[in-house]
A and B are shown apart, each in its own frame.
Chain A
Amino acid sequence: MVEVRRSTVIDAPIEEVWRILRDFNGHDRWHPAVAESRLTGARFTDQVGSVRDFRLTGGERVKEQLLSLSDKSRSFSYAIVESDVPLNDYVAHVALKPVTDGRRTFWDWRSKFRPPAGREQELAQLVAEGVYDAGFSAVRALVSGSASRSAHPASPAAGSIEGQAIVVQRHGGPEELVMETVQVPPPGSGEIRLRHTAIGVNFIDVYCRTGYFDLLKPPGVPGMEAAGVVLDVGPGVTHLRVGDRVGYACPPVGAYASHRTMPADLVFQLPEDVSDETAAASLLKAMTAEFLLHQVHPLQADETVLVYAPAGGVGRMLCQWASHLGARVIGATSSPEKAAAARAAGAETVILPGEISLEAQVMEVTAGHGADVIFDAVGRDSFGHSLRALAIQGHLVSYGQASGPVGTWDIGALSSRSATISRPNFGHYTDTPEKVHEITSRVFDALRAGVISVEIGQRVALADAAKAHRDLEGRSTTGSTILIPGESS
């Protein structure tokens, strides 16, 4: 075994050097010995397992595979899997460390390999000087602005990284959800740049896609919920650091992407015991259940609550949390399978409105009392039934319209029950870091205590977002749907 070890100091902040090095397939933009490189075996350059297939300026072909990459310790390792140069069993490690005394960067590059007998010295020198030292000089020139290799179109000097996103070119059906390659800019003031690991799908994404809500102006990327890793941090962001594992459930839209740059204020660090997939599957839905049951209608133990879509995303968590609070939960759904899921989530009674109307069934199972509170996010098809299923002085919380807009109603209709109506909006309960912190703390506590649980009913490749929407609108999902970037469809 030969061991080669080189290190240097670069006169630039570590974030700047790491941005150049972390792009495993981007070495042809800066390394003088690399002619051209392409990525195989994975979709993203920062995905462990990806292979860079490149030619050296001397004509030799080399394939190297990414073994590990950490944005937190700013290091990666890789191995040669095929090569015209006999660097057998070659494994290399690149690590950056900040020099706090002067905002510089220490860069360590080392490897071990087995050269053929007699060629040890020649090959060790090739690696040490031809690859490592030459790489040091090139990056040094690049960060000091005297780079000569600016021919490459997407040069890292511009600071953008390449990602994939679902771009809606015009409002419409699920077929408008099309994957495109996008440039993700470096974060500006108050912003961060993220790599997503899991993305939550919510019914609001459907309203954005169709244009029913004006949150997405085409061309635009839908999605308001995801988990991921902080790649870089813009000026003025103090609560997050590079490498932090984070989550969010907030506007602006743009979550259906492998990478994104966004305002940092409502993004927060995930607790260690909450996985990325759990966060993506639950943040927006559980936060909604939290404020519905504690702020919009502080639920009492002696109340009867009717929950629509009780096997779905928000509805399932409403059932779990409401039954934990001691209320009697009635679920209203569309199939026996979903009824079983609703019962498992804590619904004491489940009704399947059909030949017998919803209100008749609710009155029957409550001995004519009706529901004290109704959580109705179905909208057009349910609103009238909900009004008739309310108890006297009951509270109808209309918080969505999965079947279409509720339409126009005469307020006089409420007098038959002395009813109260609420139409809460997620944004108003979660628009400051303080509110987000309070709600998510209660959500994480509830997850830990088993008050609510996450059911990932559908795990779908990001590229297949259209299928995820078809299923959600087709009422065929249970629990939560998440999208995973980088997986092939």
Chain B
Amino acid sequence: MAEVYTSSIINAPAERVWARIRDFNALPAWHPLIAESRIEGGAPSDQVGCVRDFRLRDGGRIREKLLALSDYEFSCSYSILESHMGVENYVATLKLTPVTDGNRTFAEWSAEFDCAAEAESQLVSDIGGDVFQGGFDALKKHFGT
């Protein structure tokens, strides 16, 4: 099982960061890699079990299912149903924790998945870097430093 873990500090209260990322269908609004997204079957985007079908700016398409969402813990987990990445059993969690000192946010994004052994290190660096760190960088830019 490959593991990816990326974490960062965002200069805004956790409630505000959460408001920006909570919507499972809102990736295009905050993540620079994502071009467009829709929720299948018109389900509400905070309903556990709903599926987002989104397109990356480079054209790739990914379908992901919401597994858990907690406004109390500021966290959301999801799995990949379909993608071009060559991963299986992919489950990821995005979680925010308030930093009381300075009213900032500690953001963590982690994933576990299976893949071909020779593809692992590239996938780990792409997911941890482009996807997770890329998302955090966009949030840091949005909220200022």
Give the tally of cross-chain contacts (CB within 8 A): 51
- Would you call A104 and B9 a contact (CB within 8 A)? yes
Write the nearest CB–CB distance from A421 to chain B, whole angstroms: 45
- Would you call A99 and B101 a contact (CB within 8 A)? no
- Would you call A101 and B133 a contact (CB within 8 A)? yes
- Would you call B7 and A6 a contact (CB within 8 A)? no
Give complex CA distance A112, B106 in Å.
Answer: 22
Give complex CA distance A138, B49 in Å.
Answer: 46
Residues of A within 8 A of B74 (CB): none
Closest to B99 in A: A7
Write the nearest CB–CB distance from B44 to chain A, whole angstroms: 31
- Would you call A97 and B7 a contact (CB within 8 A)? yes
- Known A97-B106, A101-B136, A106-B106; judge A136-B7 contact (CB<8 A): no
Residues of B within 8 A of A5 (CB): 100
In-complex Cβ contact of B106 among A6, A9, A133 (8 A) = A9
Give complex CA distance A104, B9 in Å.
Answer: 9
- Would you call B97 and A106 a contact (CB within 8 A)? yes
Write the nearest CB–CB distance from B18 to chain A, whole angstroms: 16
- Would you call B7 and A9 a contact (CB within 8 A)? no
Is A98 on the interface with B (CB-CB < 8 A)? yes
- Would you call B97 and A108 a contact (CB within 8 A)? yes
Of listed A6, A98, A106, residue having the most chain B CB within 10 A: A106
Residues of A within 8 A of B136 (CB): 101
- Would you call B8 and A7 a contact (CB within 8 A)? no
- Known A9-B106, A99-B106, A101-B136; judge A106-B7 contact (CB<8 A): yes
- Would you call B6 and A101 a contact (CB within 8 A)? yes
Is A83 on the interface with B (CB-CB < 8 A)? no
Write the nearest CB–CB distance from B6 to chain A, whole angstroms: 5
Q: Which of B41-90 contact A (CB under 8 A)?
A: none
Q: Count chain B residues whose beta carbon lies closer than 8 angstroms to a beta carbon of A.
A: 17
- Would you call B101 and A8 a contact (CB within 8 A)? yes
Chain A interface size, as a band, is 10 to 19
Q: Which of B95-145 contact A (CB under 8 A)?
A: 97-102, 104, 106, 108, 128, 133, 136
Summarize B's interface: helix, strand, loop or mixed.
strand
- Known A97-B108, A99-B106, A106-B106; judge A8-B5 contact (CB<8 A): no
Give complex CA distance A102, B5 in Å.
Answer: 13
- Would you call A101 and B99 a contact (CB within 8 A)? no
- Would you call A101 and B100 a contact (CB within 8 A)? no
Q: Which of B1-19 contact A (CB under 8 A)?
A: 5-9
Is A121 on the interface with B (CB-CB < 8 A)? no
Summarize A's interface: helix, strand, loop or mixed.
strand
Residues of A within 8 A of B104 (CB): 9
- Would you call A106 and B100 a contact (CB within 8 A)? no
Residues of B within 8 A of A9 (CB): 9, 99, 101-102, 104, 106
Of listed B99, B100, B108, residue having the most chain A CB within 10 A: B100
Write the nearest CB–CB distance from A81 to chain B, whole angstroms: 27
In-complex Cβ contact of A7 among B6, B97, B108, B128 (8 A) = B97
- Would you call A6 and B101 a contact (CB within 8 A)? yes
Of listed B5, B97, B128, residue having the most chain A CB within 10 A: B97
Write the nearest CB–CB distance from A128 to chain B, whole angstroms: 8
- Would you call A100 and B7 a contact (CB within 8 A)? yes
- Known A9-B106, A101-B136; judge A106-B9 contact (CB<8 A): yes
Residues of A within 8 A of B108 (CB): 97
Give complex CA distance A196, B127 in Å.
Answer: 36
- Would you call A7 and B100 a contact (CB within 8 A)? yes
Residues of A within 8 A of B8 (CB): 99-102
Write the nearest CB–CB distance from A243 to chain B, whole angstroms: 13
- Would you call A7 and B5 a contact (CB within 8 A)? no
**Mind listing 10 A-B residue pairs with CB under 8 Å?**
A6-B101, A8-B99, A8-B101, A9-B9, A99-B7, A99-B9, A100-B133, A101-B8, A101-B9, A106-B7
CB within 8 Å of A: which residues of B?
5-9, 97-102, 104, 106, 108, 128, 133, 136
